[in-house]
Each structure stands twice: as structure tokens, then as C-alpha cells.
Amino acid sequence: MTKRIPVVEKIMSANDRVAAENRAHLDAACVYSLNFMASPGAGKTSLVERTIQGLQDRLRLAVINGDIATSLDADRADAAGAVKSVQINTGGNCHLDAIMLQDAMPQLTLGEIDLLIVENVGNLICPSNFQLGTHKSVLVASIPEGADKPYKYPGIYRGVDVLVINKIDLLPYVPFDMDYFRRGVEALNPGLETFALSCKTGEGVNAWLDWVANEVEAERQPSVW
């Protein structure tokens, strides 16, 4: 039984090595990248669509979609106006890893894009255990999921750089204790950058778009030190 732990560590470090290669590749091309994670149905693809539609005058955007079986989400990114969308069919696998991303990247011409969004498989557990090499990870939570999710899935809330709370248009109709939710988040990830918005109505989306545009701009600037 005790032999299992080193094997897992080896797999993880191989993943981290490839993730570092992915990052170097993106940095060399001045492409900023985000990893979207969420439970199924929280609105990752809707946020991809809003982000493309809101930024396509300012940025060239590509999407890599991880999906267990279909290309529906990649089709939506195409329809929204992505420069390019690439489907990774995980063949039943419940998360993306750095090697899958590395295998997909040659389908992109990095010199033609400013921002790469990776839409991970809908799952609150293991995607957070696999670094992809993206610059920041974004967790999309949503009001109908309930306010207890930070307490039930602490690993993913602890590990992300940004939180988007989607579907705030449903707050009047769904019991959701925002204070309880935010206290749970704050305990796991103090000061986490958070955007509350509705991809459906557009409320709150501009603050998110400005944040993304600023992040991309910072990646384009040569480092001062």
C-alpha cells in the first residue's frame, strides 16, 4: 500500500514539467492564458461566449475545449467569433492535463492570438490537481449550485486565482446565502479576486472583461525588471 504514493507523485511531477513547457511556449509568443474550471452547467461556455463577444474588437481570442464526448462547446466558441477553437475529446477522462494541452497546442498559431482560454471538463474535484501551464485559473461558480460548495469542494476553491459567480440574475428566485458562500471562500482563499455577474443578462460582465483585458495587456508588456 505504501508504494502507491511515490507513483502518484511521479505522475504529478511529469505533468508539472509539461505544464512548465506549455507556459514557456505561451510566454514566448506573448499569449496570455486562462484555465476555466467549474461544475457541469455553471456557465463556463457562456462565459467563454461573453468574453469573446466583449473583447473581439480589442483581442484575438482562441479557445481549447476539454469535453468528454462532444464538440458542442467548441462549436459555440466558433459561433461567438473565436479566431480558432480546438476540441480535446478526453475519451471519458474527467479532467484535462498538461500533456493533453501540449498535444492540442500545435493546432493553434500562437502568433495570431492574444488570449487563449482553456475550458476544462466540468468537474469540481480533479481538474484543480493538474496544472496546465496557463497563467491563471478561473473557477466559475453559479447561484443554483448552492452556497455550500466552498465547504464541500475546498480543494478547487483553495487553488484558483479568480472566482466568477455566475447567474446572479437568479438570486431573487433561488435560496442562496451569499454571506455564507463568501465566508467559505474567504477562509480557503483570502482576498480571492471575485466577479459576480450574469452571462444571461450581462450584468457585471464589463468588470470581468476589463480585468481580462488588463491581464492580457500586462502579458504583452516586456517585464520591467
Binding site for Mg ion (CB under 5 A): 44-45, 73
Q: The dihedral of CA 11, 190, 121, 17: what is its sign?
A: negative
For residue 44, the partner it binds in Zn ion, Mg ion, none, with Cβ less than 5 to 8 A by kind, is Mg ion
Provide the grid cell at 30. 506573448
Burial class (CB in 10 A: 0-12, 13-18, 19+), 205: buried
| 72-80 vs 44-55: helix crossing angle, rounded to 10 | 20
In 98-127, which positions are buried (b, 16+ CB within 10 angstroms) versus exposed (e)? bbbbbebbeebebeebbbbbbbbbbbbebb
Task: Candidates 12, 29, 68, 94: give the one binding Zn ion (CB under 5 A).
Answer: 94
Determine which residue in the list 12, 68, 99, 126 makes contact with Zn ion, applying CB under 5 A: 126
Closest CB to Mg ion among residues 49, 184: 49
29 binds, among Zn ion, Mg ion, none (CB under 5 to 8 A by kind): none
Nearer to Mg ion, 44 or 95 (CB): 44
3-state SS class at 71: coil
- Please tell me whether residue 76 binds Zn ion under the rule CB under 5 A: no
Q: Give the cell for residue 177.
A: 446565502
The residue from 44, 50, 76, 95 that contacts Zn ion (CB under 5 A) is: 95
Name which of Zn ion, Mg ion, none residue 51 binds, using a CB cut-off of 5 to 8 Å depending on partner kind: none
DSSP calls for 78-91: HHHT-SEEEEEE-T
Least distance from Zn ion to the Cβ atom of residue 3, Å: 22
Residue 94 or 99: which CB sits closer to Zn ion?
94
**Contact (CB, 8 A) for 151 and 116:** no
Least distance from Mg ion to the Cβ atom of residue 116, Å: 16
**Contact of residue 126 among Zn ion, Mg ion, none (CB under 5-8 Å per partner type):** Zn ion
Residue 84 near which of Mg ion, Zn ion, none (CB within 5-8 Å, type-dependent): none
